[in-house]
């Protein structure tokens, strides 16, 4: 039985990083006005994207989402990923997996456990010996782990871990992170563990959307999740003046130099952005316009598509967590 609170641990650890941070700071004077400017109560709510994503019977839908979210990382490689015309790296990966499911049905746990980097390259439309060979190797490892876990612990049923969580996103997030290294998104900062758990939380949000918040998507604690800390929301907050970066770090980002995973700079970008969002959410609540972290994340992510935001490079990290 899981008794500790994953979401509380994330919030507490990120608040601690914000206090100790050397490379990223929050402009607290701008939080109130920024929160007031956000149309979170009027913005469109997240909806499942059936155009680029697969949805069928419950077992097949769960299989698709667990598979997709197992490889929902690699933004540091996206500049060299062979993308579909007009699509981002994420939508390239998601749409190719969707086409495979629509054409041939779900990929079984046994097939995932045996998939190779070359097969991943074929599946996701990449050259087998191209510049993303390293990413395809990581994709294969992540899918091997997922397939082996579903086969050995859940008799090949992708819905089984969802059912075992009994409607708790926290329990599902804890268990999938314990079982699969790619979901175990915990950084170290000044010798202290900093759980961020981007993909473990995102999986729960995706399941909720796919099942319209009912049945296998009826999580009673979804509102307690944090934002999904990656490299886009921090970029939006920096462009909007909420986050201030060390000038040398800005220079590295503007030159599109990779920020190594696990470094203080990379951890602070994600953790301080998450804490800043907590401050924004607290302000929204105080002015009578409450929102969930997922709603705020959705709004900031969409703001990140604005040409004025996209015109500036965001930090790139080759990580298995985002």
pLDDT in tens, 38-70: 988 766 678 999 999 999 999 999 999 999 999
pLDDT in tens, 128-175: 888 999 999 999 999 999 999 999 999 999 999 999 999 999 999 999
Which among 69, 145, 185, 230 is annotated as catalytic? 230
At 4, the pLDDT band (50, 70, 90 cuts) reads low
Q: Is residue 315 part of a domain?
A: no
Q: Is residue 69 part of a domain?
A: yes
pLDDT in tens, 259-284: 999 999 999 999 999 999 999 999 99
Domain count within the chain: 1
- State residue 26 phi and psi, 5-degree precision: -100, 135
> How far apart (Å, rounded) are the C-alpha atoms in residues 16 and 230?
18
Residue 187, classified by CB atoms within 10 Å of its CB into exposed (0-12), middle (13-18) or buried (19+), is buried
Rounded to an integer, the average pLDDT of 14-37 is 98
Q: Is residue 244 part of a domain?
A: yes
Determine the pLDDT at residue 43. Answer: 65
Contacts of 255 (CB under 8 A, 6+ apart): none
Determine the pLDDT at residue 2. Answer: 45
User: Residue 134: which domain range?
Assistant: 6-310
Active site residue 8: no
Q: Is residue 317 part of a domain?
A: no
Q: Is residue 320 part of a domain?
A: no
Rounded to an integer, the average pLDDT of 95-103 is 98
């Amino acid at each position: 039985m899981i008794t500790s609170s994953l979401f509380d641990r994330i919030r507490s650890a990120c608040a601690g990083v914000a206090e100790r941070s050397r490379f990223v700071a929050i402009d607290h004077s701008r939080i109130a006005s920024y929160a007031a400017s956000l149309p979170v109560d009027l913005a469109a709510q997240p909806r499942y994207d059936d155009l680029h994503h697969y949805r069928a019977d419950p077992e097949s839908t769960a299989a698709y989402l667990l598979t997709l979210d197992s490889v929902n990382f690699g933004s540091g490689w996206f500049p060299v990923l062979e993308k579909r015309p007009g699509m981002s790296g994420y939508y390239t990966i998601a749409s190719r997996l969707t086409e495979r499911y629509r054409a041939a049905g779900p990929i079984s746990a046994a097939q995932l456990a045996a998939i190779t980097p070359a097969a991943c390259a074929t599946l996701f439309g990449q050259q087998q010996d191209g510049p993303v060979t390293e990413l395809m190797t990581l994709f294969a490892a992540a899918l091997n782990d997922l397939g082996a876990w579903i086969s050995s612990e859940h008799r090949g049923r992708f819905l089984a871990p969802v059912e075992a969580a009994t409607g708790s996103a926290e329990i599902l997030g804890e268990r999938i992170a314990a079982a699969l290294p790619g979901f175990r998104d915990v950084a170290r900062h000044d010798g202290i563990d900093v759980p961020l758990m981007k993909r473990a939380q995102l999986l729960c949000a995706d399941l909720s959307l796919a099942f319209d918040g009912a049945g296998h998507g009826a999580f009673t604690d979804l509102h307690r999740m944090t934002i999904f800390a990656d490299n886009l929301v921090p970029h939006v907050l920096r462009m909007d003046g909420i986050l201030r970066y060390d000038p040398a770090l800005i220079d590295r980002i503007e030159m599109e130099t990779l920020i190594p995973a696990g470094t203080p700079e990379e951890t602070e970008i994600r953790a301080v952005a998450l804490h800043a969002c907590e401050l924004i959410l607290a302000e929204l609540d105080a002015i009578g316009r409450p929102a969930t972290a997922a709603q705020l994340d959705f709004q900031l992510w969409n703001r990140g598509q604005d040409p004025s935001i996209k015109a500036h490079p965001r930090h790139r990290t080759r990580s298995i967590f985002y």
